[in-house]
Amino acid sequence: MEVKKVAVLGAGLMGHGIAQVSAQVAKYEVNLRDMKQEFIDSGMGMIKGSLQRFVSKGTLSEKEMNETLGRIHPTLDLKKAVADADLIIEAIPENIELKKSVWREVDRYAKETATFTSNTSSISITEMASATSRPEKFCGMHFFNPPQLMNLIEIVRGAKTSDGTVKIVAEAAKKMGKETVLCKKDSPGFIVNRVLIPALNEAIFLVHEGIATPEDIDKAIKLGLNWPMGPITLLDYLGLDTTLSITEVLQKDFGDKYRACPLLRQMVRAGLLGRKTGKGFYNWEKK
């Protein structure tokens, strides 16, 4: 089945970027749905800002920007968003009960041929798929932040995901200009976060134990491992709350090897979440 229309559920940090890539690169018609008008307005504002940056860099024309915006159709109505969509990409907060309740509703309104995907970074694909009547049509489609610039999508099989579903999602990802990897089992953290989160957590332990400053840890990893961004800066970009929630999922399934650093918990309790709150390990208010 060829994908022509996409529904993106959630216009937030990841959702707006996924909608933009779908419309700009793949040239899909996109229904962008969120629960409140203020979230929709914020998401569309971020899309316009991102497209304008591409225009100012000369990588996108004004005409292409307007055509892209014309392909994105914001809505508050879930039924309207998914009824005619070939591919549905859910990008709502990392809360299993919230996700399952949305998927139960989507299952009622989506056409029989629709493919269901979640952009979750840590929640079980199998468990989400169980909230629908068609788990064979459900898989993970994990984009990386920001979706407009990051070239990878992790495709994640649930226990009942069919080969056909994986093929449809891989073809859609390719049309969006992305490379894909296949996580053959529904395992917490999938591929990237299973490797990355323990490394980030260990960097926090280095700060917690007074072994090095955040600046020197970032410098060491950038120059010593050739990372484009140091781990402490990356934590502030990802959000310390997001990192903690992934760490807790990993610990629950794999044991204390993945135990979150006490400093991470303390900073989340204090609301020091990184760029999105203005302060994390670094002060972003001045930047």
Catalytic site residue 145?
Answer: no
Joined tokens for residue 238 = 């990802």
β-sheet with 138-143: strand ranges across: 72-75, 29-33, 5-9, 87-90, 115-118, 138-143, 152-157, 179-183
Output the CA–CA distances (angstroms, integers) from residue 58 to 48, 51, 53, 54, 70, in the order listed: 15, 11, 9, 6, 20
Active-site hit among 31, 50, 193, 245 = 193
What is the DSSP annotation of 29-77?
EEEEE-SSHHHHHHHHHHHHHHHHHHHHHTSS-HHHHHHHHHTEEEES-
Catalytic site residue 121?
Answer: yes
Active-site hit among 31, 90, 122, 142 = 142
Active-site hit among 121, 122, 124, 201 = 121
Catalytic site residue 215?
Answer: no
Catalytic site residue 154?
Answer: yes
Joined tokens for residue 102 = 């949305």
Residues classed as catalytic:
121, 142, 154, 193
